Structure formats: C-alpha cells, structure tokens
Amino acid sequence: MRAWTQERYGSADVLEFAEVERPVPGAGEVLVRVHAASVNAADWHLMRGDPYVARLALGPRRPKEPVRGRDFAGVVEAVGDAVTELRPGDEVFGEAPGCFAEYVRAPVRTTERKPAGLSFEEAAAIPLAGNTALMGLRDLGGIRQGAKVLVNGASGGVGTFAVQLAKAFGAEVTGVCGGRNGSLVLGLGADRVIDYTRQDFTAGQDRYDLVLDLVGNRALRELRRILSPTGTLVLSGGGVFEGGSVLGPMGTILRGQLLSKTLDRRLRVLTAQPRRENLVALREFAESGGIAPVIGRTYPLAEADRALRYVEEGHARAKVVLSCLPPSGP
C-alpha cells in the first residue's frame, strides 16, 4: 500500500509517499481501508519532533511510528481476534496512528461506526477535534444550560466543533476569531463574535462561566479577568506558558496542572485522550444535527505534504481533510 512515511524529524520535506507493507490487525483491532483522513496540528508537531522533550516518548532519533496521521474514516477490511463490535464492510471513523495511508490498523476502543448521512471526508474531520472540544466543554468545563461560554479560536478545527457543541448544550456562546471568519462562526450558532484584530476580548466588562482557550496567545491573568466568580478556564495546549522548543506546549500542560492543583482550582488543562464512548456521543450529535463538520480545504492523499505545510502556517480555517481514494471514473 502507499503511505506517507518519515525516517527522521524535520519539515514536510522529510516525508516520502512510498510503498509499505499493509498492516495486519491484532487482537482487539480492525484493518480499515482509509477513505479520508484529516490533518491536525498534532501531525506536524510529530513530524518535526517538536517539542524536543516529546521525543523521549516519540523516539529520540526518529519517530517510532513512521506513518503520519491520526484521524480516519473508511470501511473495515478485516478484524482481529476477539473483535465482535465491528465486522468487514462496516463504515467507521476514529483515531489511530498511521492514517495518511491507504490502510490503517485501528484499535476497536478508538473506532466507531460512521455517522449516518455524513461523507467520509466529513466523518474524518470529527475524531480528534471533536473529542477535544467535547472533553473541554463537558468533562473539564462542566458546561450547563444557560452558561455564558467564550471560545478563543472559534474558527479553527477544534473551535468550530466547540461553538456547535456549546450551543447544543444550551449555552450562550461568544466566539473569538479574525474578522474574515466572523460570518462562519455566527453561522455555526454563536450568539456573538469578537474580532480579535479590532477588539481585546479580555478588556471588556463581560464575564463568562466557561472560557475555552484554544490559542494560547494571552496571559493567564488576562483570561482569569473575564471569568465569573465561579467560572472555569480550560486551556487546550497553546502557549500561555511559553516553553520554547524544548518544552513547547508541554510546558503549558505541566505548569497549568501544577497551578490547577495548588493556586487556582478554576483552571483546567486539557489533554484529550481518544475514547470510543466519546466517538459515540459525537456520532449522535452529528446524526441529530447538533454538529456539522466544517471543511476548509481538501487535498488528495498524494498531496498530504502540502496539507501539512498549510496547517503548519497556523491560519487554517476549520478542518483540513485528505481524500484517500482515487477519483472515480472520467
């Protein structure tokens, strides 16, 4: 099969679209023919081995997982031992390493049936970003009916899901984004949009019950300022505590976790983990119309390197998706 592999850390130039051996599913796994995959910031961080401290887990000299990609949607080709939840022919979506390929070996615990009515490209856009938004709002943020919620980074991959999920939970939503994306965020259901190029959203009089920061470009004291007396601040990666190339976002996570346990119990740091039960919840939201994936750009699998370069620039609108099947017919 064809897949995007890398033998060393670096820019997209180190990637090679090459023939590799098709994986074989083990116990508790399925083999999926990938129809679509989505591109996340995590993909280029892994590609570059950035931050450096992450290489202790990823591989000190080269990636332990040579094939990039995390989100997929496709059709089950084969199942491993002890798999009863899925069978060949099922349309599925989920998270697993090595999705920028024609086939991926995926654990059943992070794989779920594809939402009915969605294309493979739309389904592939959901797993990592949707799970991050869901856990940030529901699990860490304790979102409730009528809560005032602010999403900083509302037009990005996670932000577009966060706005929709917050509305589905019955919240009053303010989205922060650039001016060109204001209509997109309003169209997703936001009650109000703040253009960060024209207005400092931390300097106003409004107070929020939940602030979900997906950007990491503001000081912690500024974000605390806009919380209500019982409000919660959820940080998802980002760079509120700048860690540089050694720690990077992990510096944010480590310091944020320390503060949340000692000085500020209203602060939560999100490290989203893939879970099948969350995929089930996201599938149900999609099938009921609570969320609709927004795709900003689509690339063929053969141009995954271009897609990674675009996402790495940091200004991608909504989700970037790879279409992994060859075009059908003339």
Q: CA 34, CA 297: separation in Å to the nearest integer?
A: 18
Same domain, 239 and 302: no
Same domain, 311 and 195: no
Single out the residue of 209, 71, 202 nearest to residue 145, CA to CA.
209
Residue 191, classed as helix, strand or coil, is coil
Residues with Cβ < 8 Å from 256, sequence gap 6 or more? 235, 240, 241, 267, 269
Name the band, by pLDDT with cuts 50, 70 and 90, for residue 62: confident
CATH number at residue 208: 3.40.50.720
Same domain, 161 and 184: yes
Name the band, by pLDDT with cuts 50, 70 and 90, for residue 249: very low
Q: Specify if 156 maps to a domain.
A: yes
The answer to whether the CB of 304 falls within 8 A of the CB of 15 is: yes
Residue 210, classed as helix, strand or coil, is strand
DSSP 54: G
What confidence tens digit (pLDDT) does each residue in 132-142 have?
Answer: 999 999 999 99
Q: How far is CA 145 from each of CA 16, 104, 109, 289, rounded to the nearest angstrom? A: 48, 39, 30, 18
Domain count, the chain: 2
pLDDT at 54 over 80: no
Same domain, 184 and 299: no
Match 């974000």 to its residue by tokens. Answer: 223
Mode of pairing for the β-strands spanning 71-79 and 91-95:
antiparallel
What is the predicted pLDDT for the residue at 264? 63
Same domain, 298 and 250: no
Residue 42 CB: number of other CB atoms within 10 A?
A: 17
Higher pLDDT, 51 or 149: 149
CATH number at residue 80: 3.90.180.10
Q: Specify if 277 maps to a domain.
A: no
Mode of pairing for the β-strands spanning 227-236 and 267-270:
parallel
pTM: 0.90
Residue 1 CB: number of other CB atoms within 10 A?
A: 14
pLDDT at 30 over 90: yes
Domain that holds residue 223: 130-270
What is the predicted pLDDT for the residue at 184? 97
Determine the average pLDDT of the residues in 63-77.
92
What confidence tens digit (pLDDT) does each residue in 75-133 have?
Answer: 999 999 999 999 999 999 999 999 999 999 999 999 999 999 999 999 999 999 999 99
User: How many residues are recorded in the chain?
Assistant: 330
Same domain, 161 and 85: no
Q: Specify if 330 maps to a domain.
A: no
Determine the average pLDDT of the residues in 32-50.
88
What confidence tens digit (pLDDT) does each residue in 172-209 have?
Answer: 999 999 999 999 999 999 999 999 999 999 999 999 99
pLDDT at 26 over 80: yes
Same domain, 179 and 118: no
What is the predicted pLDDT for the residue at 104? 98
Match 């000085």 to its residue by tokens. Answer: 263
What is the predicted pLDDT for the residue at 242? 38
What confidence tens digit (pLDDT) does each residue in 269-314 have?
Answer: 898 899 999 999 999 999 999 999 999 999 999 999 999 999 988 7
Q: CA 225, CA 205: separation in Å to the nearest integer?
A: 9
Name the band, by pLDDT with cuts 50, 70 and 90, for residue 258: low
